[in-house]
Structure 1
Amino acid sequence: MKEKLALFLPGIFLLGFNIGTGSVTTMATAGANYGMSLLWTVLISCAATYLMIANYGRYTLVTGETALEAFRKHIHPAVGVFFILALGVGVCGSVMGVMGIVAEISYEWSKTIIEGGIAPIYWAAFFCAIAYFIFWSGRTQVFERALAVIVAIMAACFVLNFFILMPPVVDMAAGLVPSVPEVSSSETGPLLLIASMVGTTIFSGLFIIRTTLVKEAGWTIEHDKQQRRDAAFAAIMMFVISASIMAAAAGSLFAEGIGLDSASQMIGLLEPLAGALAVSIFAIGIIAAGVSSQFPNLLMIPWLLCDFRGTPRDMTLWKYRVFVFAISLLGLVVPLFDARPVFVLILSQAFNVVLLPVTVGCIIYLGNRADLMGAYRNSLLTNAGLAGLFLFSLLTGYMGFLGLRDMLAG
């Protein structure tokens, strides 16, 4: 079983990275405000995620280079610097938002057990310490195995909650047909939500880190079938978990005509509708999602810097331990200053769509270079899929801009 599990550990790592509190918040908000009508966005996004994971991984299988190495050597160093800066800013915002939501969820949940609950700052400090403790070992295998346990807990909770709160099957099937629902009373309109759902699923950082994991695993082109199977597992599980979160909110809150603007609202709103058990399962799931995404967030910037400079990814070096500790402290910002992280998270995920066209364009260019890929250059079908994704990313980016403009205009 350990050998079989090892085949999927890189995919599980990506799954833990991808499904975080931002995903939960976005999917729950979509389900509560618009039912299952935006399920098509999740399906297309997960299919596109598989395409990108498989192609970036395949590039590393053939060349032995990570994405940032390739950008620096074969495109321009400025492209690599752009990704480091853009993803670095996103990571810092995500660390603050993720821990803020996890602390808020834990606080609301603790109030159902202890009178007055446990203050958010203590929860944030506790979960920041757990993520940093896992990081301290410095070994990728430890990272992957720790995430496998956390992701298993997260997936089990959300899928179980789906069966408790699931909406009618007809509604789920209808949601696979692309459409844009009418604007609800929520501050987050459908256009901004669509952009956010695409941004949180087709995340550029996911594909950059994928090349690092493939190289770390020592895979070559002989492992292409295994690499694609691993990518498919990650994409399918992303769809299952994301759809489960959306369906749980649609089957309970949307069915009762109750909107949602933050994931923590579900703690109070779900209990009278579904009982304490469903609330506890949801809380455990979102906490696991937060920790599973927080940990890769801590690794992101050091790994990007190592890849760009072509240095070994030795996370036991003190310079990285001190640097990651400083990033961990950002997780205390939201509870300390009583900020509201949800809207910022949704905006940051919508901003990820801006990075996506550049990420797609880079792999189209690299994947068609005969001097790099040789006989493994992109096929016509692959190029067609990537071209379609490029256009889709431009469309959703434009939708996100319109949604943000409408929201700011009131």
Structure 2
Amino acid sequence: MESERPSGLKGKLALFLPGIFLLGFNIGTGSVTTMAKAGASYGMSLLWTVLISCVATYVMITTYGRFTLVTGETALQAFRKHIHPIVGLFFIVALTAGVAGSVMGVMGIVAEISFEWSKNFVSGGIAPIYWAAFFIGLVYLIFWNGRTQVFERSLAVIVAIMAASFVLNFLILAPPPLEVMRGLIPSVPDVPASETGGQGPLLLIASMVGTTLFSGLFIIRTTLVKEAGWTIADSKQQNRDALFAVTMMFVISAAIMAAAAGTLYAEGIGLDAPSQMITLLEPLAGTFAVSIFATGIIAAGVSSQFPNVLMLPWLLCDYRNSPRDMTLPNYRVMVLIISLLGLVVPLFEARPLFVMIASQAFNVVLLPATIACIIYLGNRADLMGEHRHTFFTNVILFAIFLFSMITGYMGFQGLLAMIGA
């Protein structure tokens, strides 16, 4: 029998809050900039990458979630206990390093977009540093409450704004349907990196995979499943929740790519800086469409900032198997330090787009290790019993592992091409 669920609208929303959290985590400014870059440079021809990545993400989310449903252990607890403590520490260090770069890039892009957008209302615009400080303060204020439910519900509102903005933008700016359908056929555009600002198709493909198939997503998923109190009896609910999350990931990612393909690519205009999404789109799409797009980008940045700043303390709690009490002084200081990294790009006037794309490609390096761990853990009869991986599950996981290795190699080759460009 499944555990009793609260009734009414609140109860129905609560069933999908873990999925909404994953959606907010996954669709950030890294996704927006990568998908927009792909659409502006290659039209819809790389949409197949998003589809395959979303299918693989669903498999990984449900597989990691199922492990926790059966064992009651989170991913890091299992790594430490059943593989080796060093494996758990490796993921903590690697994911924290990635998050640190993401926080800098996210706030840099959000601040730059907000600055350009504000020029429509304030002469000369509001400086990026003030926007970065505002959004950092907003996220930290919500974090200060310390309860996961507050994070999730705040995230649900922001994600709803983000999704509505990008879908509406798609309806206004979408390219012809036939072009969208052709993008589902796997192909690699034969365009030199020098013609697309140095970021060739190989690096973008790796970046798109990295921003969708993100290792941190699967590891945090196990924490959310455990905190929700789900057991193996809730397997159908966890699958529905995961399906909702990845479906929305695909829809939003495709909408962002289509908006850039239907405007910038159609006009033969590339994309080199986040602010160009505002300055280049406005004469092509109009102020209204650009305002919707800017709202979506800002919402995406803020929504991803929640799990970004929480990543390190949550990972530490998981590794130690200790309560996630975010009101403890050491965690509040930790989150404050990570949050303040968001001021780096506006203060030093760095260019965040390359940082975001390269960091998303770096995520692919972590992916093979993440897949290997769940293949090992999910096949252990002493842990999973009758619920251990079937032959079909193992085939799918090995296929995803191979896909991650290929895209990792492509990302490496893309980075070399960018350096040599």
TM-score (norm 2): 0.97
- 1:179 is aligned, of 187, 193, 199, to 187
2:2 is aligned with 1:2: no
Aligned residue in 1 for 2:374: 363
Tell me which stretches of 4 or more aligned residues in structure 1 moved more than 2 Å. none
2:323 is aligned with 1:323: no
Which 5+ residue runs of structure 2 have no aligned equivalent?
A: 1-8
Q: CA separation in 1, counterparts of 2:392 and 2:177? A: 33
Instruction: Tell me if the contact between 2:79 and 2:85 (Cα under 8 Å) persists in the aligned partners.
Output: yes
Q: Secondary structure at the match of 2:314?
A: helix
Instruction: Tell me if the contact between 1:150 and 1:288 (Cα under 8 Å) persists in the aligned partners.
Output: yes
Aligned residue in 2 for 1:243: 254
Counting only pairs closer than 5 Å after superposition, residues 38-53 of structure 1 correspond to structure 2 as: 38-53=46-61
Q: CA separation in 2, counterparts of 1:195 and 1:340? A: 20
2:24 is aligned with 1:16: yes
Q: CA separation in 1, counterparts of 2:172 and 2:396? A: 37
Q: CA separation in 1, counterparts of 2:54 and 2:273? A: 23
Aligned residue in 1 for 2:291: 280
Counterpart amino acid of 1:94? S
1:341 deviation in Å? 1.0
1:406 deviation in Å? 1.1
Instruction: Tell me if the contact between 2:112 and 2:274 (Cα under 8 Å) persists in the aligned partners.
Output: no
Instruction: Tell me if the contact between 1:20 and 1:289 (Cα under 8 Å) persists in the aligned partners.
Output: yes
2:90 is aligned with 1:82: yes
Q: CA separation in 2, counterparts of 1:306 and 1:190? A: 39
Q: Secondary structure at the match of 2:199?
A: coil
Q: CA separation in 2, counterparts of 1:88 and 1:6? A: 28
Q: CA separation in 1, counterparts of 2:275 and 2:393? A: 41
Q: CA separation in 1, counterparts of 2:401 and 2:226? A: 26
Q: CA separation in 1, counterparts of 2:404 and 2:294? A: 32
- 2:220 is aligned, of 209, 212, 221, to 209
2:155 is aligned with 1:141: no
Q: Secondary structure at the match of 2:280?
A: helix
- 1:138-192 per-position Cα deviation (integer Å, ceiling 9, x unaligned): 1111111110000000000000000000000110000000000022511210000
Aligned residue in 1 for 2:399: 388
Q: CA separation in 1, counterparts of 2:125 and 2:274? A: 18
Q: Secondary structure at the match of 1:336?
A: helix
Instruction: Tell me if the contact between 1:50 and 1:235 (Cα under 8 Å) persists in the aligned partners.
Output: yes
Aligned residue in 1 for 2:301: 290
Instruction: Tell me if the contact between 1:191 and 1:399 (Cα under 8 Å) persists in the aligned partners.
Output: yes
Aligned residue in 1 for 2:5: none
Q: CA separation in 2, counterparts of 1:240 and 1:380? A: 31
Q: CA separation in 2, counterparts of 1:137 and 1:183? A: 49
- 1:35 is aligned, of 36, 43, 54, to 43
TM-score (norm 1): 0.99
2:267 is aligned with 1:256: yes
1:348 deviation in Å? 0.6
Identity of aligned pairs, percent?
Answer: 76
Let me know the Cα RMSD of the aligned residues.
0.6
Aligned residue in 1 for 2:311: 300
Counterpart amino acid of 2:356? L
Instruction: Tell me if the contact between 2:133 and 2:343 (Cα under 8 Å) persists in the aligned partners.
Output: yes
Instruction: Tell me if the contact between 1:188 and 1:261 (Cα under 8 Å) persists in the aligned partners.
Output: no
Q: CA separation in 2, counterparts of 1:113 and 1:279? A: 14
Counting only pairs closer than 5 Å after superposition, residues 87-166 of structure 1 correspond to structure 2 as: 87-166=95-174
Q: CA separation in 1, counterparts of 2:332 and 2:420? A: 44
Q: Secondary structure at the match of 2:272?
A: coil
Aligned residue in 1 for 2:3: none
Aligned residue in 1 for 2:4: none
Which 5+ residue runs of structure 1 have no aligned equivalent?
A: none
